[in-house]
Structure 1
Amino acid sequence: MSKVEQQLPKPAAMGSYSEKDVVFLLKDLSQISLEKSTLEREQAVQSGTHYSEMLPIEYKPTDEYLQLFHHSLDMYKQKLAAAVGTVSEQILKMKGKSIVLVSLARAGTPVGILMKRYLQEVHQIDVPHYSVSIVRGRGIDANAMNYIARNHPDESVQFVDGWTGKGAITRELREAMEEFNSKHGLAIDDSLAVLADPGYCTDIYGTREDFLIPSACLNSTVSGLVSRTVLNDNFIGPDDFHGAKYYEELLPEDVSNHFIDVVVSEFPNVKEEISKQVSMLDKEDRTPTWKGIQDIKQIQDEFGIENIHHVKPGVGETTRVLLRRVPWKILVKDLGNKDLEHIFLLAKERNVPVIEYKNMSYSCCGIIKPLN
């Protein structure tokens, strides 16, 4: 158990999810103004301010875009349910029933809830589920991990996220947990389970296909109305959890629980698909090859992009580029791909060129505009 006996912070009651579904190990910063416009934020990030010190202004989706979310949810609900079941079955096989799900806020949170619900509905196991912050370049929230280690000394931790892109978070998690474990004399497993692993960065996944996970279409309104996580020394002390805001004013637009309920209702309909996928994965070599990062380096060379962080591969990351960064170009593997309707719509709204680029394993890739 942890050798640290500091007074740990208490979880904040925040977000629109039930606490039965997830406990956020975050400090509530709702009263603090942290938002900057997309351009201000991009200039700050490209001038050296860390992205976690501020927040983007929440994108308020147009009616057309919301229709697209509902349409894509309807289209992918069975595929999503099958991916949730497939990855959850793998976790059970590898770790047994005594597990704690730890999702990486915020894209991991709805996925962690879906896994928790699957284990409840299909296996009648009620596992604890926490959402914690991890920040690229700054590691995981050590206070949150201490809280979990202290409260669940006998359970195995399973980290959860939505999808992989270049694998930056997979690497960040590995390094952060190595440091955390060695500091506290622990052996918490750093493996990451995701619904989709198009970057070939992990061996616990539902699929390696780069398909649209509809929760990537929206920001807080599909993630329990919780913002991205914040690590800013002005508001986060050494004994605090990392912070986030709860956008209670967006309750009328919130589809977080609707998203969960729609996918959960499909579990009984995809039983056969799940067992087929699981037995296929059992026969496959699932060793991560990091194939995605090779594609990214090639795109970087071909398009003369200095900073690799400006290349955001995969449907989820491309969506985020269009929603909260300053995009330069969008590359798509196939211009006729009907599954990318929301990408084409956002690109049109923001006047961003879309280019067909067949030579990649991802369906699409967003490129951030260098502002210097």
Structure 2
Amino acid sequence: MILDTRLLSPPLMGSYKAEDVVFLLKNISDAKLEVPTEDREEAIQAGRHYSEMLPVEYQPTQEYLDLFHRTLQSTAKKVALAAAVAAELILKKRGFNLVLASLARAGTPIGILIKRYIEKTYDTALPHYSISIIRGKGIDENALLYMLQNHPSSEIQFVDGWTGKGAIRKVLIEACQAFYEKYQLRLNDDLAVLADPGHCSLTFGTREDFLIPSAALNSTVSGLVSRTVLRPDLIGPHDFHGAKYYREWLAEDVSNLFADQVSAFFAEVAEQAKLQAEQLYRYPEEESWKGMQDITRIQHDFGISDVNLVKPGVGETTRVLLRRVPWKILVDREDNPNLEHIRLLAQDRNVPVEVYPELTYSCCGIIRPAKGEKV
């Protein structure tokens, strides 16, 4: 028997406007889940799943916040174009009869941009939800059922921020297959992303590995919502996956600032986006997964047995510096203009930066292996 999720009521959470996104997440703000970075890293590498605890979120220095604002100013039009190209590709491939499903939490700001672009350009308001997907555990099936049952004539379009190794892309493919086997409901596992430096998506705005400002911060640029949590003592069989809503950081929140500043360029980039999307639609670039060749080389060169310790791309490297225990940062060249914030974070955390030529990505973060492990 399929759970009737229409009876579930998504909580009002997050700092975004309700017309921008609805979070299909259980609010577990009262739970004590934050674990100091070093302890969390040790627990993860000892086998505890990352979704059972939360990092203590990095509080950026004023210098770093200033860099975020400078980056947003300098890249807003570039991000707008990439979001617009992704949106146009989605419409060319699948039409307007869609529900946007952003993968929390990096996908949420990008889903908002895609929704706003379509609304501004085509006067069509697509439903947009933010749902949880977790490496090693899969997608939130109750959230999928909720969208399908509340929008029975629409298809789901999954959205994320960027690709690294393509781990979440693989989880999504497997999850959609598992969902079909369980419910006989077929989902399209296409994942639309703003940036695809890993070459593992067919619906993308760009494959350039640059700093998307929404990757530069944690919850304060993602609607004040934490990473998602899946733990049996907190999440029951009829619940959505969980997350915390950090109301206490409202004064520092730049989530709507990011969305507003990027959205302001949509009218200006629309014609160029339509041309680029038409080109990509007619002559699609393949999913070569060529970024994984970098990962294999790095693992060999640095003696790293666990692929999960290698985090490629600007977005993933930023995450390593914000919430993991980094060992070193590899960059493609000394003068890459996309890496100013990476160098600033690395300096702040005393992490060495090394040039590693011929990277597909701009940079790659390597997590420090647990004590006693060979590196």
Task: Tell me what 1:299 maps to.
Answer: 298
Task: Tell me the distance in 2 between the aligned counterparts of 1:276 and 1:77.
Answer: 20
Measured against aligned partners, the alpha-carbon deviations of 1:274-311 in whole angstroms (never above 9, x if no partner) come to: 13322332343322011011111111111111100000
Task: Tell me what 1:120 maps to.
Answer: 119
Task: Tell me what 2:2 maps to.
Answer: 4
Task: Tell me what 2:105 maps to.
Answer: 106
Task: Tell me the distance in 2 between the aligned counterparts of 1:159 and 1:147.
Answer: 15
Task: Tell me the distance in 2 between the aligned counterparts of 1:338 and 1:311.
Answer: 22
**SS of alignment partner, residue 331 of structure 1:** strand
Task: Tell me the distance in 2 between the aligned counterparts of 1:334 and 1:254.
Answer: 33
Task: Tell me what 2:274 maps to.
Answer: 275
Given that 2:105 and 2:227 are in contact with CA atoms closer than 8 Å, whether structure 1 keeps it comes out as yes
Equivalences for 1:140-289 in 2 at 5 Å? Answer: 140-289=139-288
Task: Tell me the distance in 2 between the aligned counterparts of 1:282 and 1:138.
Answer: 33
Given that 2:209 and 2:362 are in contact with CA atoms closer than 8 Å, whether structure 1 keeps it comes out as yes
Mean Cα deviation higher: 287-296 or 102-111 = 287-296
Q: What is the aligned-residue RMSD (CA, Å)?
A: 1.0
Task: Tell me what 1:366 maps to.
Answer: 365
**SS of alignment partner, residue 365 of structure 1:** strand
Shift of 1:269: 1.8
Task: Tell me the distance in 1 between the aligned counterparts of 2:299 and 2:282.
Answer: 34
Task: Tell me the distance in 2 between the aligned counterparts of 1:343 and 1:165.
Answer: 16
Letter of the 1:316 counterpart: G
Q: Relative to structure 1, is the Cα distance of residues 51 and 210 closer, same or farther in structure 2, using a 3 angstrom cutoff?
A: same
Task: Tell me what 2:309 maps to.
Answer: 310
Q: 1:347 aligned to 2:346?
A: yes
Task: Tell me the distance in 1 between the aligned counterparts of 2:182 and 2:234.
Answer: 25
**SS of alignment partner, residue 346 of structure 1:** helix
Q: Relative to structure 1, is the Cα distance of residues 282 and 6 closer, same or farther in structure 2, using a 3 angstrom cutoff?
A: closer
**SS of alignment partner, residue 85 of structure 2:** helix
Q: TM-score, normalised by structure 2?
A: 0.97
Task: Tell me the distance in 2 between the aligned counterparts of 1:69 and 1:311.
Answer: 25
Q: 1:26 aligned to 2:25?
A: yes
Letter of the 1:245 counterpart: K
Q: TM-score, normalised by structure 1?
A: 0.98
Q: 1:134 aligned to 2:104?
A: no
Measured against aligned partners, the alpha-carbon deviations of 1:233-254 in whole angstroms (never above 9, x if no partner) come to: 1111111100000000000000
Task: Tell me the distance in 1 between the aligned counterparts of 2:335 and 2:279.
Answer: 29
Measured against aligned partners, the alpha-carbon deviations of 1:216-274 in whole angstroms (never above 9, x if no partner) come to: 00000000000000011111111110000000000000000000000000112213431
Mean Cα deviation higher: 182-191 or 307-316 = 182-191
Task: Tell me the distance in 2 between the aligned counterparts of 1:310 and 1:273.
Answer: 38
Mean Cα deviation higher: 278-287 or 140-149 = 278-287
Task: Tell me the distance in 2 between the aligned counterparts of 1:231 and 1:162.
Answer: 21
Letter of the 1:193 counterpart: A
Task: Tell me the distance in 1 between the aligned counterparts of 2:243 and 2:187.
Answer: 25
Letter of the 1:168 counterpart: A
How many percent identity over aligned positions? 58
| Count of aligned residue pairs for this structure pair | 370
Given that 2:121 and 2:270 are in contact with CA atoms closer than 8 Å, whether structure 1 keeps it comes out as no
Q: 1:81 aligned to 2:80?
A: yes
Letter of the 2:277 counterpart: V
Task: Tell me the distance in 1 between the aligned counterparts of 2:191 and 2:3.
Answer: 27
Task: Tell me the distance in 2 between the aligned counterparts of 1:274 and 1:163.
Answer: 18
Task: Tell me the distance in 2 between the aligned counterparts of 1:25 and 1:282.
Answer: 31
Task: Tell me what 1:322 maps to.
Answer: 321
**SS of alignment partner, residue 289 of structure 1:** coil
Measured against aligned partners, the alpha-carbon deviations of 1:344-364 in whole angstroms (never above 9, x if no partner) come to: 000000000000011211000
Q: Relative to structure 1, is the Cα distance of residues 291 and 58 closer, same or farther in structure 2, using a 3 angstrom cutoff?
A: same
Task: Tell me the distance in 2 between the aligned counterparts of 1:246 and 1:131.
Answer: 14
Shift of 1:85: 0.6
Letter of the 2:37 counterpart: T
Task: Tell me the distance in 1 between the aligned counterparts of 2:271 and 2:226.
Answer: 37
Shift of 1:77: 0.6
Task: Tell me what 2:330 maps to.
Answer: 331
**Structure 1 residue runs without a partner (length 5+):** none
Give the 4+ runs in structure 1 shifted more than 4 A. Answer: none
**Structure 2 residue runs without a partner (length 5+):** none
Measured against aligned partners, the alpha-carbon deviations of 1:295-348 in whole angstroms (never above 9, x if no partner) come to: 111111111111000000000000000000000010000111122110000000
**SS of alignment partner, residue 103 of structure 1:** strand
Letter of the 1:294 counterpart: Q
Shift of 1:198: 0.6
